[in-house]
Amino acid sequence: FPRGVLVQGTVKNISMRSLSDLRAHVRVLGPGLRMASNSAPLTDRSLMPGEMASFEVRLRTSFDSISRCQLWFRNPRVVQIATLVPNPR
């Protein structure tokens, strides 16, 4: 979207435990170590093993080019949930 980044996708719980209160976090890095970040809840905040949910994170940036984009998932009880992100399509 104008002056920002839209990150959309689907996440699957590949663990053997249920995960609840999940949020998708995105950080983009631009020139000169400029950074922007934001997070948003998953459409279904609780995922049983094998279940999937979609996410969408929008963040505004004040820079025109992006050198790196990071994506991870968290809940209030875990610092960061191990994430396997495939190559973008």
Q: How many residues does the chain have?
A: 89
Pairing verdict, β 78-81 and 68-75:
antiparallel
Q: What is the pLDDT along the chain (89 residues), one digit of tens a residue?
A: 677 889 999 999 988 989 888 899 998 888 888 899 999 999 887 899 999 999 999 998 888 888 888 888 888 776 667 676 666 54
- How many CB atoms within 10 Å of residue 24? 23
Closest CA to 27 of 78, 67, 86: 67
